[in-house]
Structure 1
């Protein structure tokens, strides 16, 4: 059995180590005397075996070991440990020595502690795999595209075919060069296949030479560089042969001047040149008699310029056409054929057959080989949850199934997979918790294959995407716009895909439909790309200042209401009130805890929302829909059918409110008008509104907000006609007497919606008085009303009364009585 070079090195090292140990044991006495003379007596013998000295020695030893632990290289630490262990094994029980005991111990000596400490750093590196941090942390960096080196990396199972090729190379007895073409498209694994062939070519039987024509500065120098490398490589095999090759190369260089035409060379391919001075025949004879077969590997021929390709072909067929040489040439057949045609269009397609005796198309990979590479590459990078999603949502759902949404042709070769993984790893880290994994993966796949479509999707989204109509903003999502073309439906974005061939357009359509049409997955995941609030972050690869972090939201959600309150306080300060409100609405709770957390969070952010955007800006109808308990469905779902438990939760939430109560009162106002079934009766809701009015007035006075609350305590009849609730009338009558009624007077004025100069007394305001004159007397006799305001109001009242009740009159009020922001905010 013949050993490889690596096995020979390992065997040699083991032999040296065993020999060294044997020498140290055999010469234990002389070594001890040597150490005693040059190290122990001048240095160690002066050591005082006292407690303080031992402690000082231990402190020094700790410092040395600490440096080795944190800064020592694997090789240095291993060398120190090896020397220490070697000396310990050979000298520890040598009667020549007398060791100091460790703090009086009869079994442990200071020398034992020193050896143990010096071994620790190396032991740690070996057990934890340190010292090779590049390998250990390889998944943290980019994935290097490396060809397969041996069977362990043979993902496409081409090793058996490669081994058969190697076997036949060894068995071939060729009188002239034999060229084997390894044929396949770009990135298909030609280099890897050649490496697998090499594994079957023993060093003892084969001299391998890799020639790289890319490194040659000019095409006419390819031949000279080839023979120079060949001469150098064969020198140790046969100096005489090396010298002959050098001579042969120089004669060829003189014959073929730089001015020789390539076309002239081309016609000589099929007929060998005359060999000069017998040099060729001498080389041929020596190679033929050689015990070693020469295998020359020339990779990536199809990436050369056409003139360079012609030079390489000439080299194989003519000038280096020696016995016992096998050429392994990797190329894509079409490119090489085009290079030949470009030199002479009349040459037949079979011309290459005269140069390459055997073409081996790469064995086809199995359908799922590339997916295996993808899984292996991403598994150490992505979370366990995302790895499951990769297998289920991406591989099973997208790559393996053959239907309209399949993108099984997205990867063309292993090089595509590696390039994609490097791009995906770049953005995955910062975005993994902020996006939906399948969305991020598929969008990156679109960018990898069709970057122009990716840019179009972002830059011109209004042309290709539409927002679904919905009653609430948080329920809106993007969907692909479809148009009818030649009687068939197609995506609007397909109008911009004219440059792509049919197969590419099908793939683009599949990727886009996976992004925007797979609603079962995406609507459930509220941070998916279909929601406008999250769309842009998929393209920015970061969270912008005005973006809400999904990761942070989920973290605070898991902390319960206290965590959500903290989150709400921070995001409202950051100007993200609307985004956070929409995100809370998007939650779809499946248990009582999450349901109550959602409602509590909405009632906590609601007052902040209306304070920032106005009372009527909050989507109260969406909130009421969340609380709708039709046929006790919600009570059954979250409260085991107990509507009283649900009612108790809602009552507690309403009573825990803090002034000014605008949000809560508006909720009750809308809830009373809706037909939705809630656990609270309208009478109970009205009673709560009255409490809000009283609580607001007692703490803040009869403010503009108090009047808004008051006007919300009403009931409707016959459509939009309304009256104040009877329970609020006595409370309000008492309140307006005890407080400055300036805001009450403002609200008592009805302004025409088209012309603010046309005014009248609000009809419902008279419900607080026996008649209209009672209202006039109230204003005239109220001691807290400013005199100017009183005079202004009475002048208006008299003009209105003269015109007749329910009649608009022209009147311009002083500033104090003008109603500003009457609607308390606008709908978004």
Structure 2
């Protein structure tokens, strides 16, 4: 304990000595002391040189007053202009303050120098401008020091690569390893320098290792020297910069050693000097014989021992240098600066340094570093969980809390799922920083528009292989094709390599067009052979044939053609439905959703809206459920080129199903009748031509009752569709397809058990629908008859009467009776159709017959059946 206390006291004394020997203190303190000591002769010199011949000639005149006020105004304006975005120099202010104090001395005691006041202002002198300058600069510095600077929330900016510094936590688990290294340094006292290599990949935390080592050695009697060779502009400059740095570190501990190092440096730099440098060196040796390098080295060693403190020299980022610079640093460590009680702690990527050494001397280069470093510390391997935790924390600090669960799940994982796509890609903290910055920059406009895990995969791809990433996007049509059409959901998949002949069931070498492209263009794309399987595996995880089909992927997935571009454009594209806008719309009121649907309609986003509605499966409350259902009905009823958008009947039936009271219990307090009342209101709002509502009711009425569990019973549904049919019939003016659709929508199915859990269905058209149809035909006979003339497939010279006629009238004979009893005015259409009917009756209505229509216009295509 006493030993530690003594070391602390000694370190305090050294810090005081460093302040007293600081260049700033010496640069200003010594001149001031000399000025005070020799002020008399200096006064006389200034009087003879400046005051008497120049300043004494300046009189108090109106012209000089004007010049004074203009200069004073200029100084004041300059001050105001510097109050914003300007940093005043503290060194310049110290000089100004010294001059100001000297001036005040002579202003108060004017027996020495006579100062001239302004004309009319006996207490104000022309030279008082010195006071103005000093005062205003003092205010500027005060503003910089005392006014609060705006707080910038670091989490909202880019992440940096800073190391642990003096107080940040060790997230990498280096601390135990560092303590072991520090302990051995403390117990060593070498005669020549010991070099310790810290080997690790770029971004693996080598600088943080340095920081931890400095913390562990903070209380020791040591001299710490930080040397950054990559700041030097040449190999020769490395020598100069190195010994300049060492001199600054040693100066507080030894008076003669800095000078010795200076001589030693000059000697090293002049070893290969030519021309005038060589001549000057030889001339100097005639006057004062030079000491040899060995003599200087021994003398420096002796003086370093006298200091009795360990010298620890940290050299970071050796792997930033070129091969000549690396060789120069190694020469310093091994020979030139191999002093006693000195430790070199050097950080580098071993593979990079060996490659540089091999370029200079290939012989035995793999073992070269063994001659330089007495010990090589290989930084411990990061566990993937550390890397993923760091990335998650950086993103959670940036994104809103509502997104934290997604970040945690997709980056760190859960007890049931672990994201493994980071392994082999993101392995260092520098990788984490770069990936975090890329995500923050590119995801901001798409936070609710993409699948987070898929976006991260593509960001990793872009980060590691930008040229391949760009090629994949630009040539996507060559690598991807649309599949899963049979599932009703289209999605991109990797194309198989057609040139490969046989296509194995699992991914193998060049199995896909993308992998073949990589193998053929690896050199151009800066891809190593061993990296190709890693790239293919990442992309296969998104678009591979063995992944989930598009049907089971999120509606925001990159595999959907409508979303693909978003993942590469980093912003919403024109003509694409914004997920954020959609969610806001369904979480608002129906009036707001209705307005938004109209806007989407104008932007031709109908298919996008339909697809997104189809993907809704769950709701947070009754309000959202009813808003969405109202929105679906409103959307499906909208006209589009005399038709309707419609909706998927089966999926809507599943959405509205109250199977096991899942809707009435969840949203209507178990009041089934309240839920049914809501649906009655939906159908009551049907608008002409009623196609969507009628065909949806038809779907319900033909479905197996127990499979849909619809709140409105079947008899009521049949009445509703008949009402819609009658409403349309009462207002239409000419025969059209909508009337046929509504008539067929009135039909329903009866399900009869046949044993063994099987059922037989029978389609029934209600008598009420047939009677309405017959009455309508009677009113519009001339436009009805042409549309029931039909042609067999691929035949245009024979015709028959549509098979819907027996459904409406009961039989062809009953239809004939209807025509015979028809008491309307004489009509050429009825007459000609009667002749056609007679021809068909000869074939018992089983075969088509040729007939030359003169009045009725018929076509082989587009007939109603």
The alpha-carbon deviation at position 366 of structure 1 amounts to 5.3
The answer on whether the counterparts of 1:715 and 1:722 sit within 8 Å (CA) in structure 2 is yes
- Of 192, 215, 226, 1:176 maps to 192
Report the alpha carbon displacement of residue 425 of structure 1 after superposing the two structures with TM.
1.0
- Partners of 1:185 and 1:154 in 2: CA distance: 18
**What's the counterpart of residue 444 of structure 2?**
429
How many residues matched? 691
How far does residue 701 in structure 1 lie from its aligned partner after superposition? 3.9
Q: How far is 1:187 from its partner?
A: 1.8
The residue number in structure 1 matching 2:330 is 313
Tell me, what secondary structure is at the counterpart of 2:397? coil
**What residue in structure 1 maps to residue 5 of structure 2?**
none
Separation of aligned partners in 2, 1:656 and 1:612: 21
Is the CA contact 2:319–2:353 (under 8 Å) kept in the aligned structure 1?
Answer: yes
Q: What is the aligned partner in structure 1 of residue 819 from structure 2?
A: 775
Task: Pick which of 696-705 and 576-585 moved more.
Answer: 696-705
Question: Which residue does the alignment assign to 1:17?
Answer: none
- Pick closer, same or farther for the CA change 1:813–1:762 going to 2, 3 Å: farther
Query: Distance between the aligned counterparts of 2:463 and 2:625, measured in 1?
Result: 41
Counterpart of 1:131? 149
**TM-score, normalising length: structure 1:** 0.69
Aligned to 1:331: 348
Deviations 1:153-180 (A, max 9, x none): 3222324543554465455434333322
Q: Does 1:750 align with 2:768?
A: no
1:420 is displaced (CA, Å) by: 1.0
Q: Are 1:189 and 2:226 an aligned pair?
A: no
1:413 maps to 428
Q: Could you tell me how far 1:144 is from its partner in structure 2?
A: 0.9
Q: What per-residue deviation string (whole Å, max 9, x for no partner) do you get for residues 325-382 of structure 1?
A: 3322112233333433443333475543333233233345556332332233122112
Counterpart contact for 1:477–1:530, Cα < 8 Å: yes
Change (3 A) 1:335 1:809: same
Q: Which residue of 2 aligns with 1:568?
A: 597
Task: Please provide the CA RMSD for this pair.
Answer: 5.0
Per the alignment, do residues 535 and 733 of structure 1 end up closer, same or farther by CA in structure 2, a change over 3 Å counting? same
Alignment of 1:223 with 2:239, yes or no, is yes
TM-score where L is the length of structure 2 = 0.67
How do 1:78-117 residues align onto structure 2 when only pairs under 5 Å count?
none
Q: Which moved more, 1:700-709 or 1:574-583?
A: 700-709
Q: Deviations over 1:663-713 (max 9, x none)?
A: 222223344444454545665444333322332244554462553345425
Name the SS for the 1:322 alignment partner. coil
Secondary structure (helix, strand or coil) at the match of 1:809 reads coil
Aligned with residue 281 of structure 1, among 291, 298, 301:
298
Q: 1:541 to 1:823 in 2, by over 3 A?
A: farther
Deviates more, 1:381-390 or 1:575-584: 381-390
Of 686, 690, 696, which residue of structure 1 is paired with 2:722? 690
Deviates more, 1:440-449 or 1:628-637: 628-637
Deviations 1:34-90 (A, max 9, x none): xxxxxxxxxxxxxxxxxxxxxxxxxxxxxxxxx9xx989999xxxxxxxxxxxxxxx
Matched residue, 2:635: 605
Segment of structure 1 superposing worse, 655-664 or 504-513: 504-513
CA distance in 1, matches of 2:407, 2:656: 37
Cα drift, residue 418 of structure 1: 0.9
Distance in 2 (CA, whole Å) between partners of 1:514 and 1:395 is: 19
Aligned to 1:664: 693
- TM alignment of 1:346-365, pairs within 5 A: 346-347=363-364, 349-365=366-382
Deviation of residue 228 (structure 1)?
A: 4.3
SS at match of 2:343: strand
> Per the alignment, do residues 638 and 248 of structure 1 end up closer, same or farther by CA in structure 2, a change over 3 Å counting?
closer
Deviation at 1:575, TM superposition (A): 1.1
Cα distance between partner residues in 2 of 1:381 and 1:539: 22
Partner residue of 1:798? 835
1: distance between equivalents of 2:377 and 2:529?
29
For residue 294 of structure 1, give the secondary structure of its aligned residue in structure 2. Answer: strand
Once the two structures are superposed, residues 520-577 of structure 1 have per-residue CA deviations (whole angstroms, 9 ceiling, x without a partner) of: 9994854344555434423332222222121222222222544432332222222111
C-alpha spacing 1:254/1:563, structure 2 compared with 1 (3 Å): same
Q: What is residue 101 of structure 1 aligned with on the other side? A: none
Cα contact 1:183–1:359 (8 A) shared by 2: yes
Distance change in 2, residues 1:541/1:371 (3 Å): same
Superposition deviation, residue 653 in structure 1:
2.3
Matches of 2:323 and 2:856, distance apart in 1: 89
> Which of 537, 542, 547 pairs up with 2:571?
542
Aligned residue runs from structure 1 range 26-41, under 5 A? none
Deviations 1:453-474 (A, max 9, x none): 756775547856764455644x
1:371 alignment partner in structure 2? 388
CA–CA separation in structure 2 for the residues paired with 1:198 and 1:751: 95
Which segment is superposed worse, 562-571 or 707-716? 707-716
Unpaired stretches in structure 1, ≥5 consecutive residues: 13-66, 76-121, 260-273, 783-789
What SS is found at the alignment partner of 2:356? helix
Specify the alignment match of 1:246 in structure 2.
262
Cα distance, 1:424 vs structure 2 = 1.1
- Compute the displacement of 1:433 (Å): 1.6
| 8 Å CA contact 1:616, 1:823 repeated in 2 | no
Task: Please give the secondary structure, in 2, of the residue aligned with 1:546.
Answer: coil
Q: 2: CA distance between counterparts of 1:385 and 1:196? A: 36
- The answer to whether the 8 A contact 2:577-2:608 is kept is yes
Q: Give the deviation of 1:146 after TM superposition.
A: 0.8
Pick from 126, 130, 145 the counterpart of residue 161 of structure 2.
145
